[in-house]
Amino acid sequence: MALQATLLPSTLSSVPKKGHLVKDTAAFLSVPHHKQRLHAASLSVVRAQVATAPVATPGASTASKDSKKTVRQGVVVITGASSGLGLAAAKALSETGKWHVVMACRDFLKAAKAAKGAGMADGSYTIMHLDLASLDSVRQFVDNFRRAGMPLDSLVCNAAIYRPTARTPTFTADGYEMSVGVNHLGHFLLARLMLHDLGKSDYPSRRLIILGSITGNTNTLAGNIPPKAGLGDLRGLAGGLRGHNHNGSAMIDGSDTFDGAKAYKDSKICNMLTMQELHRRYHEDTGITFASLYPGCIATTGLFREHIPLFRLLFPPFQRFITKGFVSEAESGKRLAQVVSDPSLGKSGVYWSWNKDSASFENQLSQEASDPEKARKLWEISEKLVGLA
């Protein structure tokens, strides 16, 4: 499944029903709820890539304001950077000259076109193949990243799929229901493996970020639109999310009926629980910052590609003019970039949101999305499913 040419520096890569509309529109309402050593190899690789971007070279560059210390260019991996929020954040970060972006994408050529189309400068990014629907591909990505010799200073688990009208499940290469397989399990394995790389980084602030969503939080209006997120006792996940053909369930809560919209929301609870469990287990010992966020309702992204055409037509103006919760891709990219690099957003264990004035604040998660016992259980089951236990 993985491409042969999984790594290519950018310098070389020029290469439903009516009810659903109402429900899903409401479900996406943006309610203001309210120490590493650099190996010689790594330096040469990254330096070569930034040869055309003289602003900041890893290993030697920006003088910080409050000290005379120099900070090298950071390296951030962003999954799903070929469109929407991931692409906008990749662009925002690369434009600062302070970050080299590794775009971890399943469609190499699409990512290359997207980066060019967004005007990202050659040398400011590297594209590497990653298909989160295959645990082999995740492992292969990590191997390839390490072979490239770059440090890892920030990891953004951003990619996701949303199948709002699906009434039958599809499955990953490893046989897990696709939404949870890609959005949660693929990222769970990636995050666990790459903790090692983050731990080796000498960058002043190392961060691991997992995208959350308002739709997984039942303490919000949007989170209360059916079908509501809910993991139950995780019996479906513990059974392997394999669906009826294997005498199991494709839903985390073990439900008999598959619901694509709920599967997405459930996967987002998993993302938010995982971030907090990472924080509890690793923050104190490693100093790594773990964070999640709701970037706002970015109604124009590819996330809604599987929705009915009428929904896709009406959703952006509905968000823009009725709820006024609309956030542009560019603005959402700046928000995610803040969580990656802004010193004022360096607190660990936080779920960030933004108010109407685009000011960030620490948001409250729902009871279920902040339940430590559920997070522990989710962690233990997920470890088994991805082959870490």
Ligand X SMILES: NC(=O)c1ccc[n+]([C@@H]2O[C@H](COP(=O)([O-])OP(=O)(O)OC[C@H]3O[C@@H](n4cnc5c(N)ncnc54)[C@H](OP(=O)(O)O)[C@@H]3O)[C@@H](O)[C@H]2O)c1
CB of 105 to ligand X, least distance (A): 6
Cβ 130 to ligand X, closest distance in Å? 5
Residue 140 vs 213, nearer CB to ligand X: 213
* Residue whose CB is less far from ligand X, 209 or 234: 209
In the complex, the smallest distance separating the C-beta of residue 303 from ligand X, rounded to whole angstroms, is: 3
Buried b (16+ CB within 10 A) or exposed e, 354-372: beeeeebeebebbebbbbe
> What residue number has its CB nearest to ligand X?
84
- H-state helical runs in 164-244: 178-180, 187-200, 235-238
In this structure, are residues 153 and 74 in contact, taking their beta carbons and an 8 Å threshold?
A: yes
Of 138 and 375, which has the nearer Cβ to ligand X? 138
Which of 58/223 has CB closer to ligand X?
223
b/e per residue 149-186 (b: at least 16 CB within 10 A):
ebbbbbbbbbbbbbbbbbeebbbbebebbbbbbbbbbb
Helix axes 135-148, 187-200, angle to 10 degrees: 20
Q: Classify 175 as helix, strand or coil.
A: coil
Q: Which is nearer to ligand X, 55 or 308 (CB)?
A: 308
Please state, in angstroms and as integers, the Cα–Cα distance from residue 46 to each residue in 71, 128, 350, following that order. 15, 14, 31
Q: Which is nearer to ligand X, 112 or 211 (CB)?
A: 211
Gap between the Cα atoms of 93 and 107, Å rounded: 21
Q: From the CB of 80, what's the least distance to ligand X, in Å?
A: 3
On whether the CB atoms of residues 236 and 249 are closer than 8 A, the answer is yes
Q: How far is the CB of 111 from ligand X (least distance, A)?
A: 7
* Shortest spacing between CB 103 and ligand X, in angstroms: 9
The residues that touch ligand X, with contacts defined as CB under 6 A, are 28, 79-80, 82-86, 105-107, 110, 130-133, 158-161, 182, 211, 213, 294-295, 297-298, 301-303
